[in-house]
Amino acid sequence: MSERELVALVCCDLGAIVRGRSLFASELAPALATGVGWVPANHALTPLGPVADGNPFGSTGDLRLLPDPDTRVRVEAGGGDGMTALELLLCDIVETDGSPWECCPRRFLRTALRELKDELGAGLLASFEHEFQLLDASPPALGFSLEAQRRGEPFATRAMVALTEAGVEPERIFPEYSSHQFEIPVAAAEGVASADRAVVLREVVREVARREGTRASFSPLLDPAQAGNGVHIHLSAIDEHGEPLFHDASRPGCLSETGERFAAGILAHARALNALTAPSPVSAVRLQPHRWSAGAVCLARRNREALLRIPPLVELGGGDPARQLRLEYRGADASANPYLALGALVRAGLDGVRSGLPAPEILERDPSELEGADAERFGVGALPRSLEEAMGALEEDETARLWMGPLLHDAYASVKRAEIEAARGVEVEELCARYGAIY
């Protein structure tokens, strides 16, 4: 790259906004060692713009954004006049002596992964499957249709090429059910790299869309009358030899005892997890029953209304079921910081294993057919109905509340409080428009 190109050193903040500072490429080598300046209160910026009132940082303190050289991403210049290359590196947020800052989201995830390693001897494989919509006023083509796919050109091909070059390993792109909606599943990666991929995917897709003169919105819900944009997080664990830990062909759903307990932990903490995985004022509207998002807090195999799903194991073409077995958490969206969401899921799963929770019953029916005690047993409509309720659930869950240290917790709560206040009394359509413009 030319010395007079800019490189962005960035982090993903508590509201899942990517922020940072750019420098000339010629200055990158020293910055890899020293980082660039950063301010604690940047982590109290809300996605609405202003700094959150009552945040724990105030105007004091200095930090560094320390680039992780393994995360370097480049999208070549092109696509319209004057579009320069996008070059970025993801950063850890550290103190000025290089020690980790207690509110750094990558550190939050690393701590959870270390616990998984220490207690289960396990590594985590994860992938984030994203949906998004191109903001396009023209009448949409039919969901999943070839017509919709072709109208998405050249954006779709360019996005897949750019994501591949960025190391995200996209597997497919296809038109989804809602207007101008697409989905991009990606290959699983180990540990922090999987969440890095989520951050990079969003920014690369936005960049490619920008170059096509449009905007890609990952907001959880653009139109209350339509399906929303989910981020489904696929999870599995491997032992130190790389052997899968969640598969056991002799058990229901082919889920091993460890896998069952991990799933049970996620379900047990589902309401608190919601505050970290779907944390915008429009998120709860997407998660209502009959939107094929997560209308029931239960485990299922073939049911897209369940919060946790075991996707199909495909033996066709010689596929290995043991390596395919994973848990799909359907309750996340792109207003969630991927490191916080994944770290919290790992903590919840680990708590299930640690407590030896019994295997969750696998739902085999459409949850909308359930009534009374059955509906309650399978958690139909049991997720919080608002961000306020989700934050309350986090406070009430004594285990989950301690996942974040006090400073991170207070900063996060201040940001979410500001969003809750700003949303009070606002119609859902207007909230959808507001958040559609942010994410």
| Residues engaged in binding ligand GLU (CB under 6 A) | 131, 227-228, 230, 286, 291-293, 304, 330
Three-state DSSP state, 260: helix
Task: Return the one option of ligand GLU, Mg ion, none that residue 353 interacts with (CB less than 5 to 8 A, by type).
Answer: none
Which helix (H) or strand (E) is 332 found in, with range? strand 327-332
Work out whether strand 231-238 and strand 362-363 pair parallel, antiparallel, or are unpaired: unpaired
Q: Which residues of 322-360 are buried (b: 16+ CB within 10 A; e: fewer)?
A: bbbbbbbbbbbbbbbbbbbbbbbbbbbbbbbbeeebebb
Minimum distance from residue 331 beta carbon to ligand GLU (Å): 8
HSE at residue 105, side-chain half, CA atoms within 13 A, is: 27
Does 333 engage in binding with Mg ion (CB under 5 A)?
A: no
* Residue whose CB is nearest to Mg ion in the complex, by number: 183
Can the peptide bond before residue 154 be classed as cis, meaning omega within 30 degrees of 0?
Answer: yes
Minimum distance from residue 371 beta carbon to Mg ion (Å): 28
Nearer to Mg ion by Cβ, of 57 and 132: the residue is 132
* Residue whose CB is nearest to ligand GLU in the complex, by number: 230
Backbone angles phi, psi at 93, to 5 degrees: -100, 120
Kindly calculate the radius of gyration of the chain based on its CA atoms and give it in whole angstroms.
21
Minimum distance from residue 177 beta carbon to ligand GLU (Å): 6
Nearer to ligand GLU by Cβ, of 64 and 330: the residue is 330
Nearer to Mg ion by Cβ, of 185 and 436: the residue is 185
Give the separation between CA 251 and CA 373, rounded to whole angstroms.
26
Stretch that binds Mg ion, among 153-161, 178-186, 209-217, 359-367 (CB under 5 A): 178-186
Nearer to ligand GLU by Cβ, of 128 and 403: the residue is 128
Give the separation between CA 6 and CA 343, rounded to whole angstroms.
31
Minimum distance from residue 172 beta carbon to Mg ion (Å): 11
Alpha helices by DSSP H, 23-104: 28-34
Nearer to ligand GLU by Cβ, of 100 and 143: the residue is 143
Nearer to Mg ion by Cβ, of 183 and 196: the residue is 183
Among positions 13, 87, 92, 183, the unique one binding Mg ion when judged by CB under 5 A: 183
Nearer to ligand GLU by Cβ, of 188 and 227: the residue is 227
The closest alpha carbon to 332, from 383, 388, 396, belongs to 383
Minimum distance from residue 253 beta carbon to ligand GLU (Å): 18
The closest alpha carbon to 33, from 100, 105, 98, 102, belongs to 98
Task: Return the one option of Mg ion, ligand GLU, none that residue 351 interacts with (CB less than 5 to 8 A, by type).
Answer: none
- Strands of 168-238, DSSP E: 174-175, 181-184, 189-190, 216-217, 231-238
Measured CA angle at 128 (ends 172, 208), to 5 deg? 60
Give the separation between CA 378 and CA 270, rounded to whole angstroms.
12
Does 196 engage in binding with Mg ion (CB under 5 A)?
A: no
Task: Return the one option of Mg ion, ligand GLU, none that residue 13 interacts with (CB less than 5 to 8 A, by type).
Answer: none
Minimum distance from residue 183 beta carbon to Mg ion (Å): 4
List all residues 6 or more positions away from 16 whose beta carbon is below 8 Å from its beta carbon: 47, 334, 335, 336, 337, 338, 439
Minimum distance from residue 130 beta carbon to ligand GLU (Å): 10
Stretch that binds Mg ion, among 181-189, 206-214, 244-252, 419-427 (CB under 5 A): 181-189
Task: Return the one option of Mg ion, ligand GLU, none that residue 286 interacts with (CB less than 5 to 8 A, by type).
Answer: ligand GLU
DSSP string, 229-258: --EEEEEEEE-TTS-BSSB-TTSGGGB-HH
Residue 73, Ramachandran bin (φ over 0: left; ψ between -120 and 50: alpha; else beta): beta
Task: Return the one option of Mg ion, ligand GLU, none that residue 328 interacts with (CB less than 5 to 8 A, by type).
Answer: none
Nearer to ligand GLU by Cβ, of 106 and 291: the residue is 291
Task: Return the one option of ligand GLU, Mg ion, none that residue 234 interacts with (CB less than 5 to 8 A, by type).
Answer: none
Nearer to ligand GLU by Cβ, of 101 and 329: the residue is 329
Minimum distance from residue 258 beta carbon to Mg ion (Å): 28
Nearer to ligand GLU by Cβ, of 43 and 286: the residue is 286
3-class SS shares of the chain: helix, strand, coil, % to 5: 40, 20, 40
Residues contacting Mg ion: total by CB under 5 A = 1
Task: Return the one option of Mg ion, ligand GLU, none that residue 391 interacts with (CB less than 5 to 8 A, by type).
Answer: none
Does 260 engage in binding with Mg ion (CB under 5 A)?
A: no
- Encoding tokens for residue 339? 């490191």
Does 305 engage in binding with Mg ion (CB under 5 A)?
A: no
**By the criterion CB under 5 A, which residues form the site for Mg ion?**
183
